[in-house]
A and B are shown apart, each in its own frame.
Chain A
Amino acid sequence: MSSKYIEVPSNAMLLERDIDKSPVLETMHLGIDFGGLTAVDEFNLTIGRTEIVGLIGPNGAGKTTVFNLLTKVYQPTRGTILLNGKETSGMNTVQVNKAGIARTFQNIRLFSALTVEDNVKIGLHNSMNAGMFSGILRLPRHWKNERVAHERALELLSIFEMEDLANHQAGSLPYGAQRRLEIVRALATNPSLLLLDEPAAGMNPSETAELMENIRKIRDTFQIAVMLIEHDMNLVMGICEGIAVLNYGKIIAKGTPEEIQNNPQVIEAYLGKQKEDGQ
């Protein structure tokens, strides 16, 4: 397992604190073609146990496609994904989630007709065990499950101080709260790697600052890795420990925020404009 890791030297991006632990995710030569078009190619990345990684790049670079590959919304055309040291080939989205990847979506995908609490409870689905008949016959297992899930849901919602919204309909929440609820729902599935697709999109600066704090808090409390796609450079540079830059489906640079900011290739491909007004 670890020998495989050494075989890919370009992946040497692990933080010191994670170096002794096996990485949460390793991808090797990952790629996908749509028809004749190569959307992602040679995507090699290692994410440490408790690392916060940013995936950046211009629009259409293939960032969300990477998320879709990792969560098996698309089956990769080639390459390997090792999740907690286990290969995920042959797994589907549901199995990958059970194996430890949870995600949010760029265009929010909540269960909008249900309440906030139910959304989180659905995230807790696989940590509950009451079957259909327990539910229909209201057996003790159903009640026990419901009680535990209710408490856990409120606990998770408290990360974003959303307990008071528990009985609101998810679709009626303001935009920012919907994004936060998606994160809570993903966390409820007890992942080891959390994928956030543009978590700060549509948020105002103060909300974004709060979100940064919360992402750090989530990593610290749950001791999990976070990988995020984001266009807000303040957020990316502020909380990511490692950054990978994607352009035309390929990683053009990897490194710490400082390294990325000073990488001439990145500046040329992507950051050039941002650096002047974004710094």
Chain B
Amino acid sequence: MKKISKTTRSNLITYAMVVAAFVIMQILSVTGHVSNSLAGQLVPICVYICMAVSLNLTVGILGELSLGHAGFMSVGAFTGVVVAMSIQNAAGPVRLVLAIVIGGIMAGIAGVIVGVPVLRLRGDYLAIVTLAFGEIIKNLLNNIYVGVDSHGLHFSMKDTASLNLDNGTILINGPMGAPGIEKLSTFVAGFILVLIVLTVTLNLIRSRSGRAIMAIRDNRIAAESVGINITKYKLMAFVTSAVLAGMSGALYAMNYSSILPKKFDFNTSILVLVFVVLGGMGNIRGSIIAATVLTILPEALRALNDYRMLIYAVVLILVMLVTNNPILKNGWTLVKEKLAFWRKKTPEPAAEGGGVHEQ
């Protein structure tokens, strides 16, 4: 076997972890060990994993704070619903795939529209503008009416009456959202989407383009000085992130019978951002774990009812305080150094790792 670099090994572990989790869940559900509430969480978990990984591309890899990621998710969600519901005669999986693909494309277009003007701004200003765009997208979706009849799709920004439907169905009803969605999403579809999002992100990071993106994050001025087109690569990361969020949004929407635009508000953007920060900036595996744990946690605390969000808030604050405590941080570095020291002393774990050698 050839030499495997540290990052390749780390990526393989990430893939293996996802696959193993999927297999375990499948076995558990076949043998009837999965509770109803957990079964209902499986698709949302996949969605939030995809959302967290895609946001990590913007926040962790590109290094720009985005507070409007849910906006792209909602574009994908509502596009997906329109696509899937207007092609009734195709098979379920085909409709789902089309919904996800076209949802991703539309979110990507939104990403370009947002990104071109916005990415010139820096730091907190960029953050507030992404927040503003998220709110604008939500506000617009609150005022979009879409219906379908034998003549095709009808759009309006006023009300359902102005759609002039000829005995058709209303697909999107302004602030009432999408009322009659067919549940097409499955855990398998979610798992496949996670793998796709993961592959796209990890491959992008470890390529010529990904290096350029990370160069901008680490030092914009130096990146320019070696001839890297800042705007191009910022936009590339931002739009890719938007496409992946749009795809997750479509999967999410197709998991429910109805969905409201206000589901995709600032709080959802923040929720995903919390996954990214707690999982570690730029750490894709961390995002996956954080998204999973933090999606299950509020559900697991359901018994505590009114107190669960309070506990969530306290846990969030405490985690931030503890992980950023300089004393504990130094302590952890010491522990890691000790571990590394012992690992070097005892050669067998490295040998077992499949001939992995570091230069």
Contacts and interface: CB of A to CB of B under 8 A. Distances in A.
Interface residues of B, number: 33
A112 B225 CA distance: 15
B221 A73 contact: yes
A206 B107 CA distance: 57
Contact of A114 (B5, B200, B211, B240): B211
B212 interface: yes
Nearest to A185: B226
B236 interface: yes
A130 interface: yes
Interface in A205-239: none
Contacts of A137: 203
Interface in B78-101: none
Contacts of A146: 208
A114 B226 contact: no
A103 interface: yes
B257 interface: no
B211 A118 contact: yes
A65 interface: no
Interface string B207-239: 111111011011101111111111000001000
Classify chain A's interface size: 35 or more
A110 interface: yes
Contacts of B211: 114, 118, 121-122, 125
B226 A132 contact: no
A222 to B, nearest CB: 16
B209 A97 contact: no
Contact of B215 (A73, A97, A114, A128): A114
A122 B208 CA distance: 8
A105 B222 CA distance: 8
Contacts of B222: 105, 109-111, 185
B225 A93 contact: yes
Contacts of A130: 207-209
A167 interface: yes
Given A94-B227, A97-B225, A97-B226, 12 more contacts: A97-B224, A97-B227, A98-B227, A109-B221, A111-B215, A113-B217, A121-B211, A122-B226, A130-B209, A131-B209, A136-B204, A186-B225
Interface of A: 71, 73, 92-94, 97-98, 102-103, 105, 109-114, 118, 121-123, 125-126, 128, 130-132, 134-138, 142, 145-146, 149, 164, 166-167, 185-186, 188-189
Closest 5 pairs between A and B when the two form their complex, measured CB to CB? A135-B207, A97-B227, A111-B218, A109-B222, A93-B224
